[in-house]
Amino acid sequence: MSKNQELKQGIDQSDDDSGDEPENYQYKIVVLGNGTVGKTSVIMRFCEDYFARSYKQTIGVDFFVKRLEMPGNVYVALQVWDIGGQSIFGKMIQTYIYEANAVVLVYDITNQQSFQDLEDWLNLVKQSFAGKEMPLLILMGNKIDLNHMQAVKSDQHDQFAKENGLYSFYVSAKSGDQVSSCFYRIAADLAGIEVQKPMVEITQKQVVAEIVQHTQNEETEPRAEEKLEKAKKKESKCILF
């Protein structure tokens, strides 16, 4: 049985004879990349439809939960893990990545170094999943609202995605362009749902998890399981047509 099949959860399996019974899925999405590429901004845009103009570095890990209502009476809860850019050197990084269903590698299209460093982030993922089923891998070029300052050529982006078997997206956390579509596509693929270009309507603004800004060393951070329990109590809704 595949990882995706194991994660499938029915609301009430005793009512299998009901054709209208909802299907529920839950997936862990890990977002990686250098600091300042806009990982937190992308996640906040997706979960809260919000963009902060000031930069605040993520230390360690934060995460959010977004619940999507999809065609066919299917509900998908995405746990989106925001990993601080400096965590690549930390002791906890493989713990953060553990059991991810999808990994999003984010770079800033105006910063060539942030793109080159994705090789290190990708190698870290491969090491973490050595001998195991690899997660879905996504390449995300952020800040397309600054395309007049683009430093990473499109053919570089395309080649890296092709060579490593990555889904490829360009987004703008600032304008919101393609952000929801990207995560919708990830959710649909993980759930095994075929979709056309999605039209997303946010019916309730909110993020479902507390945002904890860590100021201590990674070893003293709250356990992810404890944060997840708090997050599950505050789920947001997103209706997709």
Q: Which two tokens stand for residue 210?
A: 């507390």
Give the pTM. Answer: 0.74
The model's confidence at residue 61, banded by pLDDT at 50, 70 and 90, is confident
How many Å apart are CA 159 and CA 166, to the nearest integer? 10
Q: pLDDT of 7-43, one tens digit each?
A: 444 434 434 444 578 899 999 999 999 989 999 999 9
Q: For residue 65, which phi and psi values (nearest 5 degrees)?
A: -125, 130
pLDDT (tens digit, 9 = 90+) per residue, 74-113?
A: 999 999 999 987 767 677 888 899 999 999 999 999 999 9
How is residue 78 written in tokens? 């995405």
Angle at 121 between CA 43 and CA 92, to 5 degrees: 80
Q: Residue for token digits 């770079």?
A: 107
126-150 tens-digit pLDDT:
999 999 999 999 999 999 999 999 9
Q: Are 229 and 209 in contact, with CB atoms under 8 Å apart?
A: no
Distances (CA, A) of 1 to 5, 6, 23, 157, 172: 6, 7, 18, 34, 37
Q: Quickly name the fold that domain 22-240 has.
A: Rossmann fold (3.40.50)
Banded pLDDT at 4 (limits 50, 70, 90): low
pLDDT digits (tens, 9 = 90+) for 182-240: 999 999 999 999 877 644 443 233 333 333 343 334 333 444 445 455 555 444 444 44
- Residue 183: both structure tokens together: 């995560």
All structural domains of the chain with their residue ranges: 22-240
